Structure 1
Amino acid sequence: MEDFRRLPGNPPSDQQLMASGGVFVQLAPDLEVKPGGFADVTVRAACTIWAALVGASVALFLVITNHLNSRSDEPKLHSFYVSAMSTLLGAVALIPQACLAQAPFQRPTQIWPLLGGLCVLTGFANISGSELVGAQIDLLLQLLGMLSMALFLDARVGRITCSDKRRIRGFFIVVAGIGADFFHAANEGNTVQQQPPFAAVMLVGVLVSGMGYAMQAKCNNQLSANIGGPARACIICAAVTLIGGIPIQAYIFLDLGVPFKLTLEDWPLWTLAGLQSAFYAGSLAVLPTKLGYTATYLAIMFGKLASSSILDAGGMIASAQPFTVQRALSLVLVLVGSGLFSSQPSADEQQQQQQQQ
């Protein structure tokens, strides 16, 4: 098992593992490529495109789950079924990768890493949230939740202080970009204005889901080290999520009378939903060794934002939101802020922080 601290470039801290989904643990061996040569440039260019496609797959996943959710007459409640089913299929798709992992399986030494799946029970809110405000704002709110929780956890253990200006500035730049994008969407008009109470609950749920993904990543990071790889950790996490959601599903089905709509003609979409999880986790086990963490993170973020802008402009999830200069500037702010937040401090900054401590 490779250790990121032995790799050149930008090794991820715990907060970066959270922002990535906590799968930067078991890494593929590096290719024997001469640094700076034509082959190296070609590999890095291909991996950058690959990372952007990984980000685009996240936005595509929202399109698929929204379409599947539209089969029900009660999409607000049915979204929990869709979220659970996609989690199950994602775990199934990861089984081959988990079986091929060479690291030995060990029994977890602690209980808390096993509870990561409970942190993402509000993930269903992303389906309804994206239908209300579009894919882009949904993903940005999720990002805000992840970064907020990362800051909180790092501050709690003393890994970040008020003197860590780079990450703090990056965080507030991201907040400014999200605020500008949300203001743009409000001016264009969407269903938030038509359903303010429900919209508020769902958008808060999206934000909380981002925080939950950060907590889940911390659990998965520890669990991966114990059981031999991120794929195995993701499968266990999915099992915990499904078990934890059984009481909610039972209430929706038995008390509220909302059935799960599953039709044979939708099996290609369900298959894609499951494969997206395997594609995402498998890609993040390889890409950082070729690009470094920060470059991988930014390429994935670019893929998310670019694809979600296209989806919103075409009205494929929510009402159409044209891509304007204001929206472009807000995305630039988010990318710049995310880059600052995820980048490592310089040696001088690290020395100053150590002296202050």
Structure 2
Amino acid sequence: MRKLLIPILSIVVLSSCGTSKVTTSGQNSTNTSGLSLSKNGKGFQSAYQSIKLEDLKKNLYVIASDEMEGRDTGSAGQKKAGEYMVSYYKGLGISFPKTLGSYFQKVPAEYMQKRGGGDLPDSENILAFIEGSEKPEEIVVISAHYDHVGTQNGIVFNGADDDGSGTVAVMEIAKAFHNAKKAGNGPKRSILFLHVTGEEHGLFGSEYYSDHPVFPLANTVVDLNIDMIGRDDPENRGKNYVYVIGSEMLSSELKVINEAANKETVNLELNYKYDDPKDPQRLYYRSDHYNFAKNNIPVAFYFDGIHEDYHKPTDDVEKIDYNMLQKRTQLVFATAWEIANREARIVVDKK
């Protein structure tokens, strides 16, 4: 996740500011009757169960390895990580958007430099795509950034949680939707699996996509953004929880759908602390979903909090809670499944 431009507050201050708004799933949540996960139980359940802890771990041990050199934007290590991801999608048989012509959307150096990107080289967003069966022109985006902060003074910052965890979650969700489609239960709406670059330097990859969309933004239904879902923060140590940010900012339906999907599946505590407009961390503005939200596209940002290894070389694969990584990945999948398969597109009814 992009670092705040002002110094990050200490953990003590972070834990004491504001009142935590927590909904334990099933409490104060509105159930949407007839969720597609229930109506199409067989197709959903088999796809949902295909999200494996072992596969998340296997991919993360590659993405966040020393070999990837911290995945700094446009670096050789980041490109190596990107090639691994593309190979993964090719191996599954998941293709790219036809109009793009490949899995890669170039993000030019000059674009990033004009936005404060210094001397960053050319980089790439990576896009995989599953076409919908009934409403293919409507696009559900599931996003995560795959860059991190590279190597500093010879020390590799592996970014296992930030955002290796989100990267492998998107890969695993893509596999689940692909398995459903192979079994004859593909999504009604199209799904774009969007791995963006340049997040750590300024949300450059997602901004470039929003400025040069492969699919019209008017046809983009939602962005479910995953940025750090493999750890816990001091405030929630040992809890089965996830922060959900922005889910009711633009749509009265998205939060309801996410809560109902959560209740029917992993039953995590959903924490809305960072939806507070007075939140000093301003997390709603600090990850890639914001470049969709500013274009009036509903978003939900899934996040585990600011922990002691955030943006440090100790953010390593050995510290990931793989059980929580799996559950949070399954929640995003369940929410995406409902949005992709419900009859009506979710409303945009807030500003």
Report the TM-score when normalising by structure 2: 0.29
Higher strand proportion:
2
More relative contact order, 1 or 2 (CA 8 Å, 6+ apart):
1
Name the structure with the higher helix share: 1
Q: Structure 1 length as normaliser, TM-score?
A: 0.28
